[in-house]
Structure 1
Amino acid sequence: MDDIKTIGLLNNLIIVNNDRIEGYEMAIEETEENDLKLLFSQFIQTSVKCKSELLSEVRRLEAEAFISDRRKASFFTTWTEVKSALNSKNRKVILDACEEGENLVKKNYEDTIRDHGTDLSINELAMLKNQYMDLKNDHDRVEAMGQSVVM
């Protein structure tokens, strides 16, 4: 295993979770719906946990973590779309925008696990798979809420 490559993969997921945290913090400020505030707060907690685990592993590898990196333009665009959706006050549009963001998070984890699983230790891979399941559960919650909205 190449520690440099592993560190890069872990740092990418730190950035993904950091952007998710920032995005949902912004969403909490922008929405007036208490159930969405609660949902977004729970999503933040999922990413705080994931980010903490990733940071610990990067530190264990005696490397530096990258907390923010605006190279992730797709994430920035997605959270901009969420903010725009929140301004519309349309619950379905808000939930659809959040689901799109969650799809991006899931894809980053899926790609890392599928394409780079052999670059990770067994423990690192297990950690990412557990994080993926937590994030997928969040995705599924927002998807179900969006599907339940009566137009």
Structure 2
Amino acid sequence: MNNNEKLTETLNDLIKINNDRVTGYEKAADETNTADIDLRAIFLKMANESRDYVKELSDTIIQLGGTVATDTTLSGKVYRVWMDVKNTFTGSDRQSILESCEFGEDAAQKAYNDALHTDAEIDAETRQLIMDQKDSLKTSHDVIKKFRDIHESVK
């Protein structure tokens, strides 16, 4: 496997986790109660954020001459199933939705860490793109965690 193929595979993994994130946040927005309009707006913003990341990553893959992934990760599918199972037992309350979203954000951070530590050679521009997206996703993670912690302390 040549370096462009390795890098394309790495970037496709990030596309897949972002596709998972879009699906997860759309599901979370759908599951929120009408009283949780603040969360719904945040979830939809984060889904759009990942759509933008998919476009940026796709553009890079196309420049490398690769084929862009359109599916999701196996772990993403597990994440969505886990969210469904958890809602079966706990309902779609604010706390459980936030916990599920934090779980997904942790998975995204792991995927970006893995990408930055891959054995594929990453040019400076692509590395910067990955780092910028990872940093932005970390901010999103922290927002979700803050909302979860606030809700937990109010309970």
- In the superposition, the TM-score normalised over structure 2's length comes to 0.87
Q: Is it true that 1:131 corresponds to 2:133 in the alignment?
A: yes
**2:102–2:144 CA contact under 8 A, matched in 1:** yes
- Structure 1 CA distance, aligned partners of 2:45 and 2:109? 17
- Structure 1 CA distance, aligned partners of 2:58 and 2:94? 34
- Structure 1 CA distance, aligned partners of 2:84 and 2:41? 17
Provide the secondary structure at the position in 1 that maps to 2:118: helix
State the match for 1:45 in structure 2. Answer: 48
- Structure 1 CA distance, aligned partners of 2:26 and 2:120? 34
CA gap 1:118/1:6 in 2 versus in 1, 3 angstroms = closer
Q: 1:77 offset after TM fit, Å?
A: 1.8
- Structure 2 CA distance, aligned partners of 1:140 and 1:47? 16
> In the TM superposition, what whole-angstrom CA distance separates every residue of 1:83-118 from its partner, at most 9, and x where no partner exists?
4455613211211111011000011001111x2276
- Structure 2 CA distance, aligned partners of 1:57 and 1:4? 12
State the match for 1:57 in structure 2. Answer: 60
State the match for 1:109 in structure 2. Answer: 112
CA gap 1:3/1:110 in 2 versus in 1, 3 angstroms = same
**1:27–1:83 CA contact under 8 A, matched in 2:** no
> In the TM superposition, what whole-angstrom CA distance separates every residue of 1:46-92 from its partner, at most 9, and x where no partner exists?
101111100000011111101104xx332112123334455613211
Match of 1:91 among 90, 94, 110: 94
State the match for 1:122 in structure 2. Answer: 124
Q: Greater CA deviation, 120-129 or 78-87? A: 78-87
- Structure 2 CA distance, aligned partners of 1:63 and 1:117? 18
State the match for 2:149 in structure 1. Answer: 147
Across the aligned residues of Structure 1 and Structure 2, the Cα RMSD in angstroms comes to 1.8
AA at the equivalent of 2:121: D
**1:46–1:134 CA contact under 8 A, matched in 2:** no
AA at the equivalent of 1:44: A
Which stretches in structure 2 are left out of the alignment for 5+ residues?
none
**2:24–2:101 CA contact under 8 A, matched in 1:** no
Which stretches in structure 1 are left out of the alignment for 5+ residues?
none
1:1-20, aligned counterparts within 5 Å?
2-20=3-21
- Structure 2 CA distance, aligned partners of 1:48 and 1:23? 12
Taking only the aligned residue pairs, the percentage that are identical comes to 26
